[in-house]
């Protein structure tokens, strides 16, 4: 191995602040993936579409890979992490807003009754998003998200939320980019929430993040142009919204897609419908010991219809317990 290759790998690892085993990464791709059909299917696909002269060769400009975020790149239990951020904001701001105690949507949350709050459905969630996200500039919101990421801890793992990410998927993102793919996050989460931290954690720049969007307006504050977040939703990037988001913000049909729930079903169908070689993958949460085991009946990350179609059409299904020898970067 030439010294320059070692140097490049070291710089990459340090720049991303990622605890990769550099020597192992040089020996084989995807070291946190167990050898087996799943890992083989990924490597085989990438080799086929990147080898000139192959019947499946794809030009780099068309090598688009899309990844869901919640439950695919990082964990999503016991509640979606952006919801936990919003809950924490409500608690932090509540002393300045005594009127919230009379708000039927917020009252259960302020009383610590999470089950009661979630029973309020989309209306309650919309109310939380409105009172915690609206009124501030996009720059102010980014700063608040950044500070929360530095201080908030996941209740089970007691790690910062941006550490509760899947090491095998981080390796996959790096592997795809090393083979000429452009990697996009296509998530139901808020786009401004994700853009605050994904580049440092995943190596995905903010312009390659497609997510749900709230309404905004341009205004001048003290003579300075700002974008202000408003109540109300502009675009929901979930389920059948994902193919629309891909077309609207990427403009190419992906040839590689990974998700984990029925919220990603249409994204996988959209990817599969394109011509030529295609790869559709699902992360199946089967590891109750290291993480959680859930699918068809889960209130978070429900995987039902997408799982049936994946089996029927022979898409790649990652069995988390069997296929990953390491889940999180903080594991030994």
- Mean pLDDT in runs of 10 for the chain (332 residues)? 40 43 60 98 98 97 98 96 92 90 86 82 77 90 97 98 98 98 96 97 98 95 95 92 98 98 98 97 98 96 98 98 98 88
For residue 265, what are the CA distances in angstroms to 129, 243, 262? Answer: 25, 10, 5
* CB of 128 closer than 8 Å to CB of 105: yes
78 cis-preceded (ω within 30 degrees of 0): yes
pLDDT at 115: 80
**β-pairing verdict for 256-259 and 224-235:** unpaired
Contacts for 231 with CB less than 8 Å, ≥ 6 apart? 130, 134, 214, 215
In this prediction the pTM is: 0.89
Q: Residue 186: enclosing H or E segment and its boundaries?
A: strand 182-190
Give the model's pLDDT for residue 5.
45
pLDDT in tens, 90-112: 989 999 989 888 888 888 888 88
């Amino acid at each position: 191995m030439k010294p320059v290759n070692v140097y490049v790998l070291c710089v990459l690892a340090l720049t991303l602040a990622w605890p990769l085993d550099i020597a192992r990464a040089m020996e084989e791709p995807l070291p946190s993936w167990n050898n087996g059909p799943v890992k083989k299917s990924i490597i085989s696909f990438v080799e086929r579409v990147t080898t000139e002269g192959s019947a499946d060769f794809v030009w780099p400009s068309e090598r688009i890979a899309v990844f869901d975020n919640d439950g695919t790149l990082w964990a999503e239990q016991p509640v979606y992490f952006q919801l936990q951020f919003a809950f924490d904001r409500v608690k932090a701001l509540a002393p300045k807003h005594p009127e919230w105690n009379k708000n039927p949507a917020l009252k259960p949350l302020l009383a610590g009754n999470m089950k009661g709050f979630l029973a309020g459905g989309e209306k309650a969630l919309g109310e939380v998003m409105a009172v915690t996200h609206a009124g501030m500039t996009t720059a102010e919101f980014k700063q608040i998200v950044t500070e929360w990421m530095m201080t908030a801890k996941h209740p089970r793992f007691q790690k910062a939320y941006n550490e509760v990410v899947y090491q095998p998927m981080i390796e996959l993102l790096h592997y795809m980019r090393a083979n000429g793919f452009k990697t996009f996050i296509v998530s139901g989460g808020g786009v401004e929430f994700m853009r605050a931290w994904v580049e440092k954690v995943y190596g995905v720049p903010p312009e390659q993040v497609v997510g749900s969007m709230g309404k905004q307006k341009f205004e001048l504050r003290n003579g300075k142009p700002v974008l202000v977040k408003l109540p109300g939703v502009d675009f929901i990037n979930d389920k059948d919204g994902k193919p629309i988001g891909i077309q609207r913000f990427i403009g190419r049909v992906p040839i590689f897609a990974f998700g984990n729930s029925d919220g990603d079903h249409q994204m996988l169908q959209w990817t599969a419908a394109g011509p030529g070689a295609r790869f559709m993958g699902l992360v199946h949460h089967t590891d109750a010991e290291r993480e959680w085991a859930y699918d068809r009946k889960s209130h978070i990350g429900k995987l039902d219809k997408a799982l049936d179609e994946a089996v029927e059409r022979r898409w790649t299904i990652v069995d988390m317990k069997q296929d990953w020898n390491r889940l999180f970067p903080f594991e030994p």
